[in-house]
Amino acid sequence: MDTDPAPKLPPARERIGPIRVTLKQLYPEVVSALDHKNALELLVATILSAQCTDARVNTVTPALFARFKTASDFATCDIKELQKLIKPTGFYKNKAKHIRACCVAIVERFGGEVPGNLDDLVTLPGVGRKTANVILGDAFATPGITVDTHVGRLSRRLGLTRHRDPVKVERVLMELVPQEEWTKFSHRLILHGRKVCYSRKPRCEKCALATICPKVGVKGLAAKRKRKKKKEDSPQRTQRAERKKESK
């Protein structure tokens, strides 16, 4: 848990309004970064996006969705062919297994259609609350808070929660943010995390939220970078590097 003292600011319930307004001004139109035409395509693309960039997933899915068009297609596919098509996204063996198992369940239990409610979605192999909320928000227009690494990180830095458990973060944000904004608020936090509030070196000097953000944990990051640089610049480390270079 971060221990950096935070500046005295109004409580989260008072700051969430300005945070929402500022994020809406920065990112007025927000949609899923994953290219898709229906709920099944979004579900598959979201599974592929684990430990992979959305841009990389979008380079893979056109050929994938041209080959497999329905849940039944994925459920009965040759696993080796599926693995080959999705290999650039990484962890392709596990992802292929989850996609096929997920689609088998969709065919057997939901008539080949992706279910449109959270309780059913989270019963599918490879689908947790994060993926389920992505599907609900972007395929079914059902508001949901998607807690990925960006949403979790920014929620803590903004002092909205101290939780690290994604489910607990989700519940806190559900209490703070009006329901009709859940999906778009998630997208805006994700975009802000990608563009400004980086994990290791947040651009606080460029951040429109700087005056209402307690920057929880940011001071610790700066100190950590300073210690790392000092260690890298130490004479002993330099000498070891030189000896290693000479021995080659």
Q: Is the pLDDT of residue 196 over 70?
A: yes
Per-residue confidence (pLDDT) for residue 109, from 0 to 100: 97
Least confident window among 79-83, 155-159, 220-224: 220-224
Per-residue confidence (pLDDT) for residue 12, from 0 to 100: 92
Q: Per-residue pLDDT tens for 109-151?
A: 999 999 999 999 999 999 999 999 999 999 999 999 999 999 9
Per-residue confidence (pLDDT) for residue 224, from 0 to 100: 58
Mean pLDDT for the stretch of residues 154-170: 96
Per-residue confidence (pLDDT) for residue 1, from 0 to 100: 45
Per-residue confidence (pLDDT) for residue 3, from 0 to 100: 43
One-letter amino acid for residue 199 of the chain: S
Mean pLDDT for the stretch of residues 166-186: 97
Mean pLDDT for the stretch of residues 31-39: 95
Higher-confidence residue: 5 or 195?
195
Least confident window among 7-11, 173-177, 213-217: 7-11
Residues with a known catalytic role? 130, 148
Mean pLDDT for the stretch of residues 192-212: 94
- What pTM value is reported for the model? 0.82
Q: Is the pLDDT of residue 160 over 80?
A: yes
Mean pLDDT for the stretch of residues 6-22: 86
Nearest to 188 by CA among 209, 164, 169, 168: 209
Q: List the Cα angle 67/70/72 in 5-degree steps.
A: 105
Q: How far apart are CA 12 and CA 169, in angstroms?
A: 13
Q: Per-residue pLDDT tens for 220-246?
A: 776 655 655 566 555 666 667 666 665
Per-residue confidence (pLDDT) for residue 9, from 0 to 100: 76
| Cβ pair 117, 29 in contact under 8 A | no
Per-residue confidence (pLDDT) for residue 220, from 0 to 100: 75
Mean pLDDT for the stretch of residues 163-170: 96
Q: How far is CA 117 from CA 41, 74, 123, 133, 174, in A?
A: 17, 21, 11, 9, 17
Higher-confidence residue: 175 or 222?
175
